[in-house]
């Protein structure tokens, strides 16, 4: 059994990280132009760790993987993503990237980004399977990115609406939001904030008995299509609503949509609202998970609670 441990890189790990980088990149076929990874040394790696950090993976106590970080704005860039060839195929890369994403979330960063070479199909496939999308191509370099989830503790219903209103400013026609969570947790409250931010007509209420409502824009923006999938028996019934006719022109919100509405669009926001154990407590947990290339290029930002 492989025993993997991922640790935050410190100055004590510099020599191990340099060795992993050199082993990994020297085993790759020579590319044109060649990688500059083999020029990394104790001085450059120590400087990178001191400024932005990184990770070291040990497999059964032996250095097996490493990555250096670079933070630019609200993006965590992964540099020198390396797995020693002797440890490939044992989950080292997946463990390392998963931990890097956790670092991004903990630091409040909206996206993780990296460069992969188009000539390395196995590497390209790895990032695709991890949910990364190509957001740019520069000659032989593919710029891959993935938007990070936003996790918030929301004290009041007013705060929930304020978050929805702020998020509305980042939406555009064609966007799909799939809402799920506890009964009465605040999904409709969140949608009310979206409606206010989008400046649409009509009160946003639970559409349980109507299933679908269209709220036209009052400001030349996209309409809001509000769907409640609670009583729908499957995707076929959701498809019967003919949402395709409005998907490209509207922002579509599907409450109780988990397991049904994901097929509506390759790009979406999965929104989960959960309540605490105490029914008298207004506090809610909110998780917004961006999916697809549309969000990989921009990420999601919520700052309203920081200002309160």
| Pair 288, 193: CB distance under 8 Å | no
Same domain, 291 and 155: yes
Compute the average pLDDT of residues 83-96. Answer: 94
Band of residue 76 on the pLDDT scale cut at 50, 70, 90: very high
Interval 102-128: pLDDT, tens:
999 999 999 999 999 999 999 999 999
Q: Which residues contact 279 (CB under 8 A, 6 or more apart)?
A: none
Give the separation between CA 96 and CA 90, rounded to whole angstroms: 12
| pLDDT above 60 (res 305) | yes
pLDDT reported for residue 207: 59
Picking from 127, 147, 167, the residue at the C-terminal end of a domain is 147
Higher pLDDT among residues 214 and 211, named by residue: 214
Burial environment of residue 269 by CB neighbours within 10 A (0 to 12, 13 to 18, 19 or more): buried
Give the separation between CA 38 and CA 113, rounded to whole angstroms: 21
Picking from 107, 132, 147, the residue at the C-terminal end of a domain is 147
What are the φ/ψ torsions at residue 212 (nearest 5 degrees)?
-145, 135
Same domain, 143 and 159: no
| pLDDT above 90 (res 44) | yes
Interval 229-267: pLDDT, tens:
655 544 444 454 445 546 688 999 988 767 666 677 789
Compute the average pLDDT of residues 162-184. Answer: 93
Compute the average pLDDT of residues 26-32. Answer: 88
239, 244, 250, 251: CA torsion to nearest 10: 40
- β-pairing, 176-181 with 268-275? parallel
Low-confidence winner among 2-11, 148-157, 202-211, 287-296 (lowest mean pLDDT) = 202-211
How many other C-beta atoms are found inside a 10 Å radius of the C-beta of residue 65? 29
| pLDDT above 70 (res 211) | no
| Pair 54, 19: CB distance under 8 Å | no
Question: Cis bond leading into 33, ω under 30°?
Answer: yes
Token pair of 86, please? Answer: 């002797």
| pLDDT above 90 (res 279) | no
Same domain, 120 and 161: no
Same domain, 154 and 207: yes
Question: In whole numbers, what is the pLDDT of the chain averaged over residues?
Answer: 89
Let me know if residue 221 belongs to a domain.
Answer: yes
| Pair 227, 252: CB distance under 8 Å | yes
Compute the average pLDDT of residues 25-48. Answer: 93
pLDDT reported for residue 232: 53
Same domain, 79 and 8: yes
Same domain, 136 and 11: yes
User: Residue 215's domain is classified under what CATH number?
Assistant: 3.40.50.300
pLDDT reported for residue 261: 60
């Amino acid at each position: 059994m492989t025993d993997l441990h991922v640790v935050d890189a410190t100055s004590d790990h510099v020599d191990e990280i340099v060795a992993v980088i050199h082993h990994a990149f020297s085993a790759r076929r020579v590319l044109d132009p060649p990688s500059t990874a083999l020029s990394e040394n104790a001085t450059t790696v120590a400087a990178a760790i001191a400024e932005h950090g990184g990770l070291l993976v040990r497999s059964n106590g032996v250095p097996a993987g490493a990555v250096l970080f670079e933070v630019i704005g609200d993006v965590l860039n992964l540099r020198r993503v390396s797995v020693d060839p002797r440890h490939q195929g044992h989950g080292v890369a997946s463990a390392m990237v998963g931990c890097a994403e956790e670092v991004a979330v903990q630091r409040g960063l909206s996206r993780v980004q990296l460069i992969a070479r188009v000539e390395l199909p196995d590497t390209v496939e790895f990032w695709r399977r991890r949910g990364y999308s190509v957001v740019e191509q520069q000659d032989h370099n593919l710029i891959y990115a993935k938007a990070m989830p936003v996790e918030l503790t929301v004290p009041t219903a007013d705060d929930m609406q304020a978050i929805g209103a702020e998020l509305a400013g980042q939406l555009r026609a064609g966007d799909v939001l799939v809402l799920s969570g506890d009964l009465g947790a605040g999904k409709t409250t969140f949608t009310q904030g979206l409606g206010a931010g989008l400046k649409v007509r009509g009160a946003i209420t639970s559409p349980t008995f109507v299933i679908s409502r269209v709220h036209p824009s009052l400001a030349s923006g996209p309409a809001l299509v509000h769907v409640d999938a609670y009583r729908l028996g499957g995707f076929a019934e959701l498809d019967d609503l003919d949402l395709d006719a409005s998907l490209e022109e509207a922002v579509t919100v599907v409450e109780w949509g988990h397991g049904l509405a994901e097929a509506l669009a390759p790009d979406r926001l999965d929104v989960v609202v959960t309540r605490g154990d105490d029914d008298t407590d207004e506090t809610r947990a909110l998780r917004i998970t961006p999916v697809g290339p549309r969000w990989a290029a921009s990420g999601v930002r919520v700052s309203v609670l920081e200002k309160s």
